[in-house]
Structure 1
Amino acid sequence: MSDSETEKEQEASDNESVVEESAEIKNESEDKPVSWKDLGLVDILCKACEQLKWKEPSKIQRESIPVALQGKDVIGLAETGSGKTAAFALPILQSLLQNPQRYFALILTPTRELAFQISEQFEALGSSIGVKCAVIVGGMDMMSQALILAKKPHILIATPGRLLDHLQNTKGFSLRALKYLVMDEADRILNMDFEVEVDKILKVIPRERRTFLFSATMTKKVKKLQRACLNDPVKVEVSTKYQTVEKLQQYYIFIPVKFKDVYLVHILNEMAGNSFMIFCSTCNNTIRTALILRNLGLTAVPLHGQMSQNKRLAALTKFKAKNRSILISTDVASRGLDIPHVDVVINFDIPTHSKDYIHRVGRTARAGRSGQAITFVTQYDVELYQRIEQLIGKQLPLYKTEDDEVMALQERVAESQRIAKMEIKDLSDKKGKRKKGGDEDDDTEGATGVRKRLKGKGGNKKTARRK
């Protein structure tokens, strides 16, 4: 071999080692924690994040904030509880600081509760810069909302239906100068058949704007929406498959359908001291379950779509403030809601759509905390349960119970079921007579009269003796 060939080989090996070293350096830099400052945020917003005790950005925030600050449209795909709200809120607030303007940004959300939560996060992050937010959702008085809109807030957080009502009927209200549009939980917005409303809203806001589209899943409808309203977007995908967080312990329990209430009471007693979210499939079942648990001395509060907005907010506030340890809800609370202290999620009724399982159990084990999820599977739910296991790619362990201990509660639970049935009848009888405005505690409070009557007959004393 000649000297020149030897030199070339040596040079090639040197180059390879340089490439390897640079790759190692790159990997090391990727492993290093990134600060809020590194993302390009101004000091005042970095300080706001620190005050909220956010030590470092999450994956979706690291990926999407720098792109958004460059003025590009963003499609963000990430699982629930990943910090999506701050991922769009921080770039919008930084842009607002540089170019102050009323009606600066519009955030569309599928549910009222999520709208209020997003507003709280905007106000927390923007408190030092005087950001004004308005929440425009159904179930509230149109006239008082029109007065709020007349004050021209910087940020509007709205559900599509009610926003369209105001755009069509509220004099002097328009979004012709809007700079940012965000669609949060876009897949859910479209699944709830808001397509027509979204199309109409897109026609009356400027084409020259920045658009952020955040979704847990990339459905056909979301792809169609992306083509319609985004301009050369950057796609940021944190999670490519459906998954649950590592710190979540998941179990299933196989039981006959007629003993579901008994097993629920047993688990709540066994895990007393924890904070629970229980998911039911219907509004009626949330009320029925809440009444059964209340009659047994457990502090439960229902949350469902047929409650007035004030009552829904009151129920959430009580649970967040830990005045109630059990929140019984339909899927209205399965998306986006961040309640830090939820220890256990119970799927009392198995979700019909497997993807809803991911969102439900995502209410616990958030932001690095641990949590548990227990799914009730009856003889009629086996196929639905198998779909969930297939989706998440794992077989869940059985939650172990002693049948004798559980069935010892049967008599007490049966008595509570009987009282709850009478209370529900009383509720439906009074529904037409009750005043508007909701001065009762929530949708189960109208049953107080039944409890008093039963007490006079010795019904509650009988239950108390069994306790």
Structure 2
Amino acid sequence: MADTAEQEKEKTFADLGLCDELREVCEKQGWKNPREIQAKAIPCALQGRDLIAISQTGTGKTAAFALPTLQALIQASHQSSRPLAFFACVLAPTRELADQIAKQFRSLGSGIGVKCATLIGKDDMAQQAIALAKRPHIIVATPGRLLDHMKETKGFSLRSLRYLILDEADRLLDDEFEKVMDEILNGIPSNRKTYLFSATMTRKVQKLQRVCLKNPAKIEISSKYSTVETLKQQLWFVPTVYKECYLVYLLHLKFEATTMVFTRTCDATIYLATILRNLGLRAVPINGHLSQSKRFEALNKFKSGQCNILICTDVASRGLDIPSVDMVVNYNIPAQPKDYVHRVGRTARAGRSGLAISLVTQFEVEPFKAIERHLGHEMPAFPTHHCEEAMLVLDRVEEAKRITNRQLKEAGDRKRKGRRGEDEDKIENYLGNKKHKKHRMPKRN
């Protein structure tokens, strides 16, 4: 097995059967050799097989489906005298992931004239319709917005679609998207190529049959619910009443680290981000209730280093390629083990190391034990001496909570008085514009 893995690493993009144009693109991207998922998926795709590909996050899945799709587009364009509009459609469960995939297609296809349109919710439908009227080769979309255009945009149809790609396919096959996905699948041709990619995958045959796979090649780089070896994972048992205090201490302890903090609710992202900003930490929230422009703004601030702490819900747990996340903190323990895998997969990407720390209260022991059972090992505990040290910041945290509660109450009062939307703007402006002061932790006794 070790020899096989070594051979896969030594392969070149030429060995995979990629055409000259795409090999040049890979060289410009700085990709010397294909990653394992690419080395196994691309040859099968070029042979015309449908794909079910399961690989850990950060292993190069996007290029694994983008490159063979672009090669098929190049070959089809040589054989056709007319433009190949709506050649392929990529579906993703979140707007941020769809936007990221579209950027990669544009980057890989820039030298060969590929046109790509992005269809995501909360963006202007009319502008998207104009983009569709230009008849792009590739559509990257969230399911709901794609279905909106299939129903409402005059002249738009996917009856000529040749490739359907589902990224984070297990999420798209969940009950949440079932009705929308069924309508989309009924509106596209069945004689197409279909690729399913994910870090985790449902094994329910009925759900896979809905996607009309034909003799698919199954490629599994990692076992179900696995995490990468370069990820260090720890748990920290914390009392519920002091949970914010422990989080603040941890973020001060890793003051320079680029950190993603996952919470259960949208409100919690705003609440925690405001507390942290009041304490001089560079935090910004992202959740599904924010406008799309605010979500992209938060991501850009995080990626650029303007803010080094992203407080997020699971909207940010899947597929996002943020190159240098040093640490992931589970402020709330997810209900499903696969959600844990996706969360901690935001760090330790592309062979780099990373740290994941889960704050486990007395009420979250059972779901955390379920995660450990699925991963097949127990996690080491965070050093106990930090518990006493964490309490040294209690007074400062309590004061920051009082200030935060007052700010959010004032914003809520404005909303109830009919000034709709102003509360979000004021909170977001506060979070985005407040100047930070570095606060040092109290010295150890």
What corresponds to 2:60 in structure 1?
83
One-letter identity of the residue aligned with 1:67: C
| Residue of 369, 393, 396 corresponding to 1:386 | 369
> Is 1:311 the counterpart of 2:288 in the alignment?
no
Query: Are 1:323 and 2:300 an aligned pair?
Result: no
Asked if the contact 1:81–1:362 (Cα under 8 Å) also holds between the matched residues in 2, the reply is yes
Q: Are the structure 2 counterparts of residues 350 and 427 from structure 1 closer, same or farther at C-alpha, using a change threshold of 3 Å?
A: same
Q: Determine the structure 2 residue equivalent to 1:410.
A: 394
Shift of 1:440: 4.1
1:263 corresponds to which letter in structure 2? Y
In structure 2, relative to structure 1, the CA distance for the partners of 1:448 and 1:179 (3 Å cut) is: closer
Cα distance change of structure 1 residues 363 and 27 upon mapping to structure 2, 3 Å threshold: closer
What secondary structure, in the 3-state scheme, does the structure 2 residue paired with 1:351 have?
A: coil
Aligned residue among 56, 60, 66 for 2:33: 56
For 2:189, which of 206, 230, 244 is the aligned residue?
206
Supply the distance in 1 between the matched residues of 2:224 and 2:424 (Cα, whole angstroms): 45
Query: 2:18 is paired with a residue of what secondary structure?
Result: coil
Partner letter of residue 409 of structure 1? V
Cα pair 1:81 1:367 within 8 Å, conserved = yes
Pick which of 420-429 and 366-375 moved more. Answer: 420-429
Corresponding residue for 2:140? 157
How far residue 53 of structure 1 moved from its aligned partner, in angstroms, is: 2.1
Q: Write the deviation string for residues 308-340 of structure 1: whole angstroms up to 9, x where unpaired.
A: 111111111111111110000000000100101
Matched, 1:427 2:411: yes
Distance 2:34 2:421 in 1: 45
For 2:225, the equivalent position in structure 1 comes to: 242
SS class of match (1:171)? coil
Once the two structures are TM-superposed, the CA of residue 197 in structure 1 deviates from its matched residue by 1.2
Alpha-carbon contact 1:249-1:371 (below 8 Å) kept: yes
CA contact (8 A) 1:72 1:233 kept: yes
1:41-440 equivalences in 2 (<5 Å) = 41-100=18-77, 101-191=84-174, 193-221=176-204, 223-226=206-209, 228-400=211-383, 401-431=385-415, 433=418, 440=425
- Give the Cα separation in 1 of the matches to 2:31 and 2:238: 42
SS of equivalent to 2:15:
helix
293 and 29 in structure 1: CA distance in 2 versus 1, 3 angstrom threshold:
closer
Gaps of 5+ in 2: 78-83
The CA distance in 2 between the partners of 1:277 and 1:319, in whole Å, is: 9
Equivalence for 2:11: 34
| Residue deviations 1:269-320 (CA, integer Å, cap 9, x gap) | 1111110000000001111000000000111000001011111111111111
> TM-score, with normalisation over the residues of structure 1?
0.87
Q: Distance between the aligned counterparts of 2:432 and 2:314, measured in 1?
A: 27
- Please state how far the C-alpha of 1:145 moved relative to its aligned partner: 1.2
C-alpha distance in structure 1 between counterparts of 2:7 and 2:216, whole Å: 24
Q: Residue 73 of structure 1: CA displacement?
A: 1.1
* Distance in 1 (alpha carbons) for counterparts of 2:34 and 2:425: 42
Provide the aligned C-alpha RMSD in A: 2.8
The answer as to whether partners of 1:291 and 1:444 remain within 8 angstroms in 2 is: no
Structure 1, unaligned stretches of length 5 or more? 1-22, 453-459
Aligned partners of 2:322, 2:175: CA distance in 1, in Å?
23
Indicate the residue corresponding to 1:4 in structure 2. Answer: none
- Contact 1:34–1:57 (CA under 8 A) maintained in structure 2: yes
Match of residue 80 from structure 2: none
- TM-score w.r.t. the length of structure 2 is 0.91
Bigger radius of gyration: 1
Give the distance between the partners of 1:328 and 1:175, measured in 2 at CA. 38
Structure 2 residue matching 1:383: 3-state secondary structure: helix
Aligned length: 433
Q: By how many angstroms is 1:33 displaced?
A: 0.6
Q: Secondary structure at the match of 2:154?
A: coil
